[in-house]
Amino acid sequence: MSSNNNTSKRIFVGISIPEALVGNISAFCSNIPELIKVKLDYPHITLRFLGNVLTNKILSLTEAVKEIEFSSFELTLEGVGFFGSRSPSVIWVGVRENDDLLLFKKQLDPVLDPFAEKPSGTFTPHITLKRLRRDPNADFFKSMEDFKNKSFGSFRVSSFTVFESILGPSGARHLPLAKVNSVN
């Protein structure tokens, strides 16, 4: 009988967004024709996408992150932006620059490195609103300039979560595997 040690799951570590702020983002999207259909089913800030992690390593991963001790900190969701300079592929809500978040990320990365498919890249904290399948017109991008400093509210980060990302025809579903709370 062979064991199935080669199966893997798509894993990332993120910060979940509180319902009140999700409501603020949804209200914003409902007023933008290109964003009306945006569904914020699993809104989060990705701290690190690990890629495919072998199923038999996931328990070790969750045990490792549970050893991380961190103090809660405040984050402000601010601005609307895009990834992809020539042909934007993602519209996102940003996070105001925050030293506490960057220090937390520096603490987290060495713990996650052994489980990641590739090294940590440039960190641009954001909440993905929509992946673009085709270029919106120039007027859309011009109108988004008005929102580059828009505030969606602040919240206290008192936990982070290891998620499994399951791809499907209607998008990804994110299942929480382990939650780690702050020490305060």
Structure confidence at residue 5 as a pLDDT band (50, 70, 90): low
Both tokens assigned to 105: 């990320």
Alpha helix ranges (H) inside the chain? 19-29, 58-66, 99-112, 138-144
Q: Do the bridges between strand 159-168 and strand 151-157 make them parallel or antiparallel, or are there none, so unpaired?
A: unpaired
Q: Candidates 3.90.1140.10, 2.60.120.10, 1.10.287.310, 3.40.50.12780; correct CATH number of 8-181?
A: 3.90.1140.10
Give residue 38's pLDDT.
82
> Which tens digits make up the pLDDT trace of 112-152?
999 999 888 889 999 998 877 776 777 777 788 889 999 99
Nearest of 117, 93, 96, 102 to residue 40 by alpha carbon = 93
Alpha helix ranges (H) inside 32-122? 58-66, 99-112
Mean per-residue pLDDT over the chain, rounded? 90
- Looking at per-residue pLDDT, the higher value among 176 and 37 belongs to 176
Give residue 1's pLDDT.
42
Question: How far apart, in whole angstroms, are the C-alpha atoms of residue 40 and residue 42?
Answer: 6
> Which tens digits make up the pLDDT trace of 134-144?
767 777 777 88
